[in-house]
Structure 1
């Protein structure tokens, strides 16, 4: 790996950004990267020395086996050490670093009038009180606690309280259905459920407690109810709304099971001795959907996850003491676990905790919050960027965004058009974009730019983070050198990688290690260019082999969205008698644009021009909307079914709007061959 010399469409870090950066240039990155691979013991020991260990490790920093032919797959970090992650992200700052009065979170609710400031001392106090409540309800070390809460401070209090007493938290995104919640409760065998009475999403009032009760009833019907108590938070917005508004929400109540949060917390002591845990004790389970639709319980452990989320946050966002950092994700997803809670708090950061949606009560909500708190580091999803692009530059011009220094993206590869808008309009041409690639399974960033070190190429995740050794394989498991495209795999672990799938280690081994023994298989396709930059091309099952040519759906989607009429596009494969596979494209047009034969021909021509004749779509379908999860992720599994006219759709519980599927099926006949 050398300093890239390609000048085409590259963006270089500014001298101003490099002055006080943790990694101030590409050569600094290379030196640290080499150290992380050549002397990993020394590298990770330096990171570990920043934290408190009740008992130091007795063995190597990292032990592992990635080869299924040599026995069980395992990863161990700092085996023999004892610590507590809650102590390290809270007590260490309050009691050792005198940061008690520093702001941990600015909380912004669904509407601008709902806000709160929480210092590190206040956070520690609330976490200890919650930990004592959980213990009083019978929760012990190793017990699982399911958390079904919106983005309110109590969500952070509860997850850290679990970590403090050694309970394993299983957070379920509060937009999921009762079916999804019940599945996760049953698989985790949780003893306690923590939820809220309700939540506003935009103008819509949602009865969370009713959904939670439906989930518990589903558990009982399947004779799988392990829940003994349900702890219920009264949502801050419902405490301040008028009585008439509150009366719309009828909170179902079971006095045998249900406990009000406020009543339980009222007399709870604000001191709680942390449980000192083994380095490899479980920290949390987080469920992620598999290709079959059945969720997989990804398990992360204490020490390695602490080291990795702390280091990635510090370096990828070049965090400094006076920064105000905002990640717009929900804590119900891994991004929120790693880069709203554990990573930022481990660094003593000040963050924004945001409950609302980008366009309520107006389309400038994001920019309003950046101005209000003088946000310096902003981390969001390409889906949100594309949504806000539709409203143009005018909403941004009402607000002062001059505090911004670094922008980040997460969740999927960002198309070049959105990257340029984010850079030029939001970042005003001066903020580098850290386009991060990682997964629930990886625990933290694995391919990512460093803002003051990495020359940027729009759409590329650039280079590996420290300790991460990627390679690209072909279908036969052969390593590809130089410019190449194929399967993205990793040769060795890093401290924050998942340890197993909860109660299903065999599925863990089969899913991630069986296809290519000796490597962790991401399931993503990847291209490496002549400068060594990595480009994520989408899930392997979203890659196409058309007449022997391997191509990525992301590349075709980027070409389609360059058309002035197209707001969003999604591409999947469809079986073809001659080609093997062909391209089936779904396009969502901008307001007032008409889908017709001319549009279809223009789109085909655009793809031919941008990629080549082999990439010409066989089908282009009008898609008034695309099937997405509540976090905004396009469900391509569903689109593949529609393209094949297959009505056996599997689990649709994670869809934000299931009616979209019916509409898309009705438009199939309009697909232009």
Structure 2
């Protein structure tokens, strides 16, 4: 890791943040010093239970239960316990459609839709597939499942019919809930038509359609209209009291293999982790108007909005569509119009805003904005400083965090108002988590030493299994480092305990005996004024073992001239060292990315090495990028450095 990055000064926990911390500093220190089991019991006391927990952990990683015997309900904690007159949702769509929902209205709709599901034969433990975008119906449907003990499986609205089919075949839901369509960059994306294709030759299932784009579109025989069903149901389902370890939902990960993994999270265990996560990293409360920009199909949204966010009673802005449509200024318009105090997004979104230029900021009142939380991929210091100094005018706290679908939380970050952060780092492990960086020989890495990231103790929100395949769960997460969960990410803890995640272990390359993470090379590239985004992957080399290849998306009208490519290679040398000089620099107008904005580095690596994009491509947002990059790779002239 570049020593210059590790020596960046820590940022004070109270700098540029007007909100009071969640607890007094002395109490925060006490909680950080607690053993994980005592800590999680403390957190549980802040939630509403029917039978409160009296014990913490039974078992070990791979076979554990947290709060055994305790019972409660997620929807009660997220909806019923808040003032009914408080605004819960401020919904806005790309075309300007708006809706406002109070907690009382949302609770009523959820309880009636839960009753409608019961009337359709949905019972405790049955699966319900939720194929929706960021719409109020997603909140209603998911909390209706929580209310009656059904296991929901959320399916990302950008998936292809084949990807939707894979997930339906695996979960075998009794009911599928979808919208007729969604909007994306001015286009109508036909979700119902995709679902119809996915259901071909599958066993019959009940389909409920929320007709939001074309209200008059006819339904097939046997299908139900979401709003009509809700209007016809007057009974309110009582919340079912579930044991803390009963499954709450299944969420599928996309990876290098063709078969996605259906990760199972315990409902009340997930609630406990998400509640604590939002408390520390956002310090969210009823006084906040808050916007989580993630898609409901990615676990970021359930953690920081659907469950963790609602559990704190904030007013949530939810946006359906692309946040840079119709203009790159749309995020600023939303923040100003709704008086947003806190935003949770991805580094990619900040880089997109930065690329659009500072002129788009002018004329928008962002004075109420206090905090920007981030997760999803490494954050380069350049973007951190731009967000703090330019976007936030020096008056916002930038809290970069780290977590995974499997962990159910962004378990590393700064405790708002209490602990410092360092630009580019992911904060520190939060209370209740035990992180360990492991060297290749299995020993614990020294501070500042790159290794494999592991977690050594269970916690309530850790995924419990892979749906229908516990052996796969053990093989994937518990076999590499016995007695620990393997994150499959490369990371280090610096001398101040700040966590730096440099990328997937596959992205740590060994160049002539030197271990180099891609993050530091990408950070060096982004310092160049002509660069908007950068991704570095490893290419096998007969002499050095591996060499770095850089893919760079230019800013504005910058062109990929030989001079620019040399400048970019020199920037990596200055920032990391001569050993890291890229073998090639490919300047490209686009790179393959997921719908949530992450660059698909695995696809770039496949194109570089084999010329083909293999593995699971179901989350790919822009398939045309594959052909664009392939053509550039075939044109090697002038790209070698």
Q: Deviations for 1:261-317, whole angstroms, at most 9, x for unmatched residues?
A: 122122202511112211111000000112224211111002211111111111211
Unpaired runs of at least 5, structure 2: 1-5
CA contact 1:433–1:451 (8 Å) conserved in 2: no
Q: Does structure 1 residue 84 correspond to structure 2 residue 68?
A: no
**Cα distance in 1 between the residues matched to 2:40 and 2:617:** 42
1:578 counterpart = 2:543 = yes
What are the residue-to-residue correspondences of 1:476-495 with 2, within 5 Å? 476-495=441-460
Whether 2:439 is the aligned partner of 1:443: answer no
Per-residue deviation at 1:52?
Answer: 2.8
Residue of structure 2 in register with 1:47 after alignment: 43
Name whichever of 139-148 and 654-663 sits farther off.
Answer: 654-663
Cα distance in structure 2, aligned partners of 1:430 and 1:157: 35
**Which position in structure 2 is the counterpart of 1:35?**
34
Match 1:501 to one of 454, 463, 466: 466
**Structure 1 segment 30-179 matched on structure 2, within 5 A:** 30-37=29-36, 40-41=37-38, 43-57=39-53, 60-66=55-61, 73-93=62-82, 99-112=83-96, 114-179=97-162
Contact residue 21 and residue 318 of structure 1 kept, 8 A: yes
Q: 1:17 to 1:663 in 2, by over 3 A?
A: closer
Comparing 440-449 with 43-52, greater Cα deviation is found at 43-52
TM-score, with structure 1 as normaliser: 0.91
- Residues 44-63 of structure 1 show CA distances to partners (whole Å, capped at 9, x for unaligned) of 223222233223446x2122
Counterpart of 2:509 (choices 530, 544, 548) is 544
Match 2:610 to one of 617, 634, 645? 645
Query: Which whole-Å CA distance do the structure 2 matches of 1:19 and 1:355 have between them?
Result: 29
Does residue 1:254 correspond to 2:243, yes or no? no
The separation in 2 between residues aligned to 1:187 and 1:535, in whole angstroms, is 35
Cα gap change, 1:19 to 1:396, in 2 (>3 Å): closer
Query: C-alpha deviations, 1:159-187, integer Å up to 9, x for none?
Result: 00011111110011111111111111111
Q: How does 1:601-616 map to 2 (within 5 A)?
A: 601-616=566-581
**Alpha-carbon offset, residue 8 of structure 1:** 4.2
> Mapping of 1:247-396 within 5 angstroms?
251=217, 253-256=219-222, 258-396=223-361
Counterpart residue number, 1:232: 209
Give 1:242's aligned residue.
none
Change (3 A) 1:644 1:7: closer
Determine if the alignment matches structure 1 residue 523 to structure 2 residue 488.
yes
Change (3 A) 1:262 1:303: closer
| Unaligned 5+ runs, structure 1 | 1-5, 67-72, 94-98, 240-245
How many residue pairs get aligned? The number is 633
What are the superposed Cα offsets for residues 582-620 of structure 1, whole Å, 9 maximum, x if unpaired?
111111222322212212211111111110111111122
Corresponding position of 1:13: 13
C-alpha distance in 1, partners of 2:486/2:596? 25
8 Å CA contact 1:78, 1:303 repeated in 2: no
Q: 1:284 to 1:557 in 2, by over 3 A?
A: same
Instruction: Give the 3-state SS of the residue equivalent to 1:617 in structure 2.
Output: coil
Q: What do residues 199-237 of structure 1 show as CA deviations (whole Å, max 9, x unaligned)?
A: 2223111221111100101xx1xxxx24421100011x5
Residue pairs, 1:588-627, within 5 angstroms: 588-627=553-592
The separation in 1 between residues aligned to 2:15 and 2:474, in whole angstroms, is 46
Question: Do the aligned partners of residues 403 and 19 (structure 1) sit closer, same or farther apart at CA in structure 2, a change above 3 Å counting?
Answer: closer
| Cα drift, residue 155 of structure 1 | 0.8
The two structures, once aligned, show a CA RMSD in angstroms of 1.8
1:338, distance to aligned residue in structure 2 (A): 1.0
Conserved 8 A contact 2:16-2:397: no
Q: Distance in 2 between matches of 1:361 and 1:367?
A: 12
Name the SS for the 1:390 alignment partner. Answer: helix
1:89 CA drift (Å):
1.6
- CA distance in structure 1 between the aligned counterparts of 2:375 and 2:14, rounded to whole angstroms: 23
Distance apart, 1:404 and its partner CA: 0.9
Give the superposition deviation at 1:477. Answer: 1.4
- 1:70 maps to which residue? none
How far did 1:568 drift? 1.3
**Alignment check: 8 A CA contact 2:185 2:325 kept:** yes
More deviation, 528-537/184-193: 528-537
- Offset at 1:648? 5.8
* Cα distance in 2 between the residues matched to 1:320 and 1:666: 50
- Give TM-score scaled by structure 2 length: 0.95
Measure, in 1, the Cα distance between the counterparts of 2:489 and 2:133: 30
Cα distance in structure 2, aligned partners of 1:623 and 1:667: 7
Query: Cα gap change, 1:330/1:8 in structure 2, threshold over 3 Å: closer, same or farther?
Result: closer
Provide the C-alpha distance between the structure 2 equivalents of 1:282 and 1:227, rounded to a whole number of angstroms: 24
| Aligned counterparts of 2:145 and 2:152: Cα–Cα separation in 1 | 6
Residue 413 of structure 2 is aligned to residue 424 of structure 1: no
Are the equivalent residues in 2 in contact too, given 1:286–1:299 (CA < 8 A)?
Answer: yes
> Structure 1 pair 638/444, CA: closer, same or farther in 2 (3 Å)?
same
Residue 18 of structure 1 deviates from its aligned partner by 7.1
The match for 2:369 is 404
2 CA distance for matches of 1:82 and 1:292?
A: 37
